[in-house]
């Protein structure tokens, strides 16, 4: 049987794979009868050989292939738009842009999959796949296709509530909202943070204060707020946030690294937006898995001038040098940083 699991929600794709495994039978026997292949490189012959290998002391064989459908995605123009196959000119461009044997390769792979032996469960896993994908169109009549797009805010809140309830706990609406704001729709991180909160509250109701204490992005949120306070010359607020981070167990070196990282991200977001790059490309380029992190960086890039960001970044570098050379200890160096940047603001005012 053929299963196609696609979508940007990578966590749900892998959960669906686990359900398929459970439905096959004995998991211990399945371990010796599972083959994983890289779909971006696998040949039609290698795929067919894996599917036709008779299972050892079991009824079923599982073959998992990641990235195979993506390999045959329609090519894109320079402006990032997918090319339409409707006109002869564009179709000719597609043929020039693609390897000459890609069409034959697609047909060979599809033909092999269409003749799956009854003992093989083949799972194709991919991200977001266009409906015009030629391999998808070849296989859709014989496959169970499940699509997993990213959850919207309402769906994400429901997901958190179900996860908490499944662990035998409860969570307040305010805590759910804060989780969604901090973590976004990265379900791998969200699942981990929910599990940490359930352990932290020992099965009790999870409240907003628990989220702020436990969830990793709570520290990120304080760092964002501290960057705001520093750049806006609010010395007292910045110093108070610094002390909160210390109370949460962060060392001065960690605070400095997070501040430097955030200043760099804001600067890069501002620069790439100026180049006209779309939001998705910026998020991918910077490796930001959380919507929360990108959203905050996006807001701060709107608020602050390149000159002010440049000044902050270089002062952070000076602070790092003063700590590493032993001129000041970490806590004192960070307080001096905040005071100096705030003093410049008071003078310029």
The rounded distance, in Å, linking the Cα atoms of 248 and 239 is 14
Alpha helices in 232-329 (DSSP H): 235-247, 252-274, 279-286, 291-303, 306-324
Assess whether pLDDT exceeds 80 at residue 82. no
Name the strand (E) or helix (H) holding 37: strand 34-38
Please enumerate in sequence order all residues whose Cβ is within 8 A of that of 247, keeping only pairs 6 or more positions apart, or say none: none
Q: What is the mean pLDDT of residues 174-193?
A: 86
Q: How do residues 109-166 score in pLDDT, each as one tens digit?
A: 998 898 899 999 999 999 888 888 889 988 988 888 899 998 888 999 999 999 999 9
Structure-block tokens of residue 200: 């932290």
Give the orientation angle of helix 173-183 with respect to helix 153-166, to 10 degrees.
Answer: 120
Paired residues of 36 in beta bridges: 64
Q: What is the pLDDT of residues 293-318, one digit of tens each?
A: 787 788 888 888 888 888 888 888 89
- pTM assigned to the model: 0.61
The mean per-residue pLDDT over the stretch 13-26 comes to 88
d(CA 20, CA 25): 9
- For residues 230, 235, 240, 241, the Cα torsion angle rounded to the nearest 10 degrees is 0
Helices marked H in the chain — which ranges? 10-24, 27-31, 44-52, 88-97, 102-114, 134-139, 153-166, 173-183, 187-200, 208-214, 216-231, 235-247, 252-274, 279-286, 291-303, 306-324, 330-348
**CB neighbours (10 Å) of residue 36?**
12
Cα angle 268-270-276, degrees, rounded to a multiple of 5: 105
pLDDT at residue 97, rounded to an integer:
45
Tell me how far apart the alpha carbons of residues 343 and 80 are, in angstroms, rounded to a whole number. 46
Tokens of 254: 């960690």
User: Which residues on adjacent β-strands are paired with residue 171?
Assistant: 206
Cα distances from 26 to residues 29, 37, 57, 117, 220, in angstroms, run 5, 22, 11, 20, 43
Domains and CATH numbers, the chain: 2-147 (3.40.50.300), 153-212 (1.10.8.60), 217-348 (1.20.272.10)
pLDDT at 101: 67
Cβ-contact 13, 78 below 8 angstroms: no
Distance CA 349, CA 90 (A): 59
**pLDDT tens profile 197-226:** 999 998 789 999 898 888 766 667 777 788
> For 238-257, what is each residue's pLDDT tens digit?
888 888 788 767 788 888 88
Asked if 300 and 261 count as a contact pair (C-beta separation under 8 A), the reply is: no
68, 130, 146 from 7: Cα distances, Å: 14, 10, 8
Q: How many CB atoms lie within 10 A of CB 110?
A: 18
- CA 343/CA 349 separation, integer angstroms: 10
- Per-residue pLDDT for 321 more than 80? yes
């Amino acid at each position: 049987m053929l299963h196609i699991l696609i979508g940007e929600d990578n966590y749900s794709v892998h959960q669906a794979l686990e359900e398929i495994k459970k439905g096959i039978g004995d998991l211990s026997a399945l371990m010796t009868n599972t083959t994983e292949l890289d779909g971006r490189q696998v040949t039609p012959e290698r795929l067919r050989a894996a599917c036709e290998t008779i299972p050892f002391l079991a009824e079923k064989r599982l073959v998992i292939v990641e990235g195979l459908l993506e390999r045959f995605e329609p090519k894109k123009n320079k402006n990032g738009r997918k090319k339409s196959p409707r006109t002869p000119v564009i179709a000719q461009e597609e043929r020039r842009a693609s390897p000459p044997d890609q069409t034959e390769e697609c047909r060979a792979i599809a033909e092999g999959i269409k003749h799956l032996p009854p003992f093989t469960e083949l799972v194709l896993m991919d991200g977001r796949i266009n409906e015009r994908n030629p391999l998808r169109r070849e296989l859709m009549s014989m496959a169970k296709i499940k699509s997993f797009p990213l959850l919207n805010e309402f769906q994400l809140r429901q997901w958190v509530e179900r996860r908490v309830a499944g662990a035998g706990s409860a969570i307040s609406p305010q805590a759910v909202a804060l989780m969604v704001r901090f973590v976004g729709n990265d379900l791998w991180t969200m699942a981990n943070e929910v599990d940490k909160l359930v352990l932290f509250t020992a099965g009790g109701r999870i409240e907003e204060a628990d989220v702020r204490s436990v969830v990793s992005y709570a520290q990120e949120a304080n760092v964002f707020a501290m960057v705001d306070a520093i750049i806006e010359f609010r010395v007292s607020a910045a110093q108070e946030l610094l002390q909160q981070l210390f109370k949460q167990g962060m060392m001065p070196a960690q605070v400095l690294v997070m501040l430097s990282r955030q200043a760099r991200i804001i600067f890069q977001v501002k620069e790439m937006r100026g180049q006209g790059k779309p939001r998705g490309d910026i998020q991918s380029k910077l490796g930001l898995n959380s919507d929360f992190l990108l959203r905050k960086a996006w807001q701060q890039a709107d608020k602050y001038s390149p000159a002010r960001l440049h000044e902050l970044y270089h002062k952070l570098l000076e602070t790092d040098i003063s700590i590493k050379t032993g001129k000041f200890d970490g806590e004192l160096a960070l307080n001096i940083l905040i005071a100096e940047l705030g003093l410049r603001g008071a003078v310029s005012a």
